[in-house]
């Protein structure tokens, strides 16, 4: 498998001096850069289901989670590392058809090529059957990125009065697509190639937008939306020691969330936008006087609220809705069938 991966993943000259095939990968960061490093599990029946998700989508999502964390700090991806445990039968071809694991790498490497990040190493192991049950797939992805020393975007940098922004075409799309997927998985099995408009199956990590936010000094703090706006905003507030108010009338709502509401799959599209996880958009803050463009690298930017000082006895995050009293917005990021958070 290593030789096959090496052939598909040629080393490009640049930050990666040495990749798959030796004992270690060797990275050479730019002088004056710091390394940003993030690791994320993708576990069968926790983060994906093999009877719902195509192998290509699982590979794409595995890498996208790590890339989204690099985007959140404004880092440029340098290399990815993958440790993969899987049952033996997933490495075998059936009647000449590609093995599950080949298709997993099709999805992962397609996104890697698009984002110009080499898969620079990793490990594979057999996930053994246990008590008559087939072994489960477990993938642990590590992403390394470079960021100018002391310039990474942090969750802790927001100031009172900062405005709160979110990237992308709208929130709640990933949660809505998951609701559609669990109702009719067979409708989605043919989706073997990343296509826009599939926020759950093929999320688009906001690497370019994160880089621009950092390089142009636009943002004071940032986080990626993995657990859902309500939960991730609490993380940002906690690290910055601030409160926040969201204006529900300007929160962008993904069209798929509107469809999920119309179909009766979700209580409301707004609830999906506030609490549905895995949108992988960026949530960031900026000084009120900073001019934030309407879009960054083709990705829309929406102002959705404001940061303020924490007040004793007052909730950290509140929601302003038309015709209603201001209410507390609790962290209720969706758990789906996941057992863990996904920072
Ligand atoms: Mg994160």
Q: What is the pLDDT of residue 339?
A: 43
pLDDT > 70? residue 173: yes
SS3 call for 63: helix
Is 279 annotated to bind ligand? Answer: no
Q: What would you measure as the largest C-alpha separation in the chain, in angstroms?
A: 66
Q: How far is the CA of 145 from the centre of ligand 1 (A)?
A: 14
| DSSP H or E stretch at residue 309 | strand 299-309
Measuring CA to CA, which residue among 287, 284, 289 is closest to residue 299?
A: 284
Is 318 annotated to bind ligand? Answer: no
Q: How far is the CA of 169 from the centre of ligand 1 (A)?
A: 19
Is 23 annotated to bind ligand? Answer: yes
Q: Which two tokens mark 21?
A: 């095939």
Residue 12 banded pLDDT, cuts 50, 70, 90: low
Q: What is the pLDDT of residue 333?
A: 78
Q: How far is the CA of 280 from the centre of ligand 1 (A)?
A: 8
Q: How far is the CA of 38 from the centre of ligand 1 (A)?
A: 9
Does the predicted model carry a pTM greater than 0.85? Answer: yes
282 in Cβ contact with 226 (< 8 Å):
no
Q: What percent of the chain has pLDDT over 90?
A: 81
Give me the mean pLDDT over the 224-235 stretch: 96
Q: How far is the CA of 82 from the centre of ligand 1 (A)?
A: 18
Is 278 annotated to bind ligand? Answer: yes
Alpha-carbon distance of 326 to 320, in angstroms, equals 5
Give me the mean pLDDT over the 114-133 stretch: 92
Is 186 annotated to bind ligand? Answer: no
SS3 call for 27: strand
SS3 call for 164: strand
Query: Could you tell me which residues are beta bridge partners of residue 20?
Result: 22
Q: 78-92, 127-141, 308-322, 328-342: lowest mean pLDDT where?
A: 328-342
Q: How far is the CA of 63 from the centre of ligand 1 (A)?
A: 13
156 in Cβ contact with 239 (< 8 Å):
yes
Q: How far is the CA of 202 from the centre of ligand 1 (A)?
A: 17
Query: Could you tell me which residues are beta bridge partners of residue 26?
Result: 18
Measuring CA to CA, which residue among 166, 174, 340 is closest to residue 255?
A: 174
Query: Could you tell me which residues are beta bridge partners of residue 18?
Result: 26
Is 140 annotated to bind ligand? Answer: no
- 150: number of Cβ within 10 Å: 7
Q: How far is the CA of 244 from the centre of ligand 1 (A)?
A: 19
| Helices 255-262 + 173-183 axis angle, to 10 | 50
pLDDT 10s digits, 58-114: 999 999 999 999 999 999 999 999 999 999 999 999 889 999 999 999 999 999 999
Is 177 annotated to bind ligand? Answer: no
Q: How far is the CA of 233 from the centre of ligand 1 (A)?
A: 11
Alpha helices in the chain (DSSP H): 2-8, 55-73, 100-115, 173-183, 207-215, 229-240, 255-262, 269-275
Q: What is the pLDDT of residue 336?
A: 52
Alpha-carbon distance of 18 to 154, in angstroms, equals 30
Q: What is the pLDDT of residue 334?
A: 56
pLDDT > 50? residue 340: no
pLDDT > 50? residue 327: yes
Q: What is the pLDDT of residue 187?
A: 85
Is 130 annotated to bind ligand? Answer: no
Is 39 annotated to bind ligand? Answer: yes
Tell me the CA end-to-end span of the chain in Å, nearest whole number.
Answer: 30
Alpha-carbon distance of 162 to 144, in angstroms, equals 30
Is 123 annotated to bind ligand? Answer: yes
Which domains, ranges and CATH numbers included, belong to the chain? 2-148 (3.30.1330.10), 155-328 (3.90.650.10)
pLDDT > 70? residue 341: no
| Helices 55-73 + 207-215 axis angle, to 10 | 0
DSSP string of 184-214? -GGGGTT--S--TT-TTTS----HHHHHHHH
């Amino acid at each position: 498998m290593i030789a096959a991966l090496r052939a598909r993943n040629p080393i490009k000259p640049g930050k990666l001096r040495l990749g798959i095939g030796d004992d270690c990968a060797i990275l050479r960061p730019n002088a004056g850069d710091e390394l940003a490093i993030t690791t994320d599990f993708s576990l069968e029946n926790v983060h994906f289901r093999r009877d719902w998700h195509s192998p290509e989508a699982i590979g794409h999502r595995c890498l996208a989670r790590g890339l989204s964390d690099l985007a959140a700090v404004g880092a440029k991806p340098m290399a990815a590392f993958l440790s993969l445990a899987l049952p033996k039968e997933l490495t075998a071809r059936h009647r000449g058809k590609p093995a599950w694991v080949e298709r997993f790498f099709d999805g992962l490497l397609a996104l890697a090529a698009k984002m110009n990040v080499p898969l620079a190493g990793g490990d594979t192991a057999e996930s053994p059957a246990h008590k008559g049950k087939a072994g489960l797939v477990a993938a642990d992805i590590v992403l390394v990125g470079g960021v100018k020393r002391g310039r990474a975007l942090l969750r802790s940098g927001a100031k009172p009065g900062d405005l709160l922004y979110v990237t992308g075409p709208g929130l709640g799309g990933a949660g809505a697509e998951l609701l559609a997927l669990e109702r009719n998985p067979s409708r989605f099995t043919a989706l073997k190639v990343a296509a826009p408009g599939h926020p759950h199956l093929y999320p688009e990590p906001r690497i370019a937008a994160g880089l621009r936010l950092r390089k142009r000094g636009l943002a004071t703090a940032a986080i990626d939306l993995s657990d859902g706006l309500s939960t991730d905003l609490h993380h940002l507030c906690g690290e910055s020691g601030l409160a926040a108010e969201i204006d529900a009338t300007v929160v962008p709502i993904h069209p798929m969330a509107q469809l999920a509401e119309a179909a009766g799959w979700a209580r409301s599209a707004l609830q999906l936008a506030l609490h549905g996880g895995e949108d992988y958009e960026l949530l960031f803050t900026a000084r009120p006087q900073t001019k934030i463009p309407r879009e960054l690298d083709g990705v829309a930017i929406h102002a959705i609220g404001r940061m303020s000082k924490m007040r004793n006895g007052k909730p950290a995050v509140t929601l302003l809705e038309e015709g209603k009293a201001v209410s507390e917005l609790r962290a209720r990021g969706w758990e789906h069938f996941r057992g863990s958070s996904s920072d």
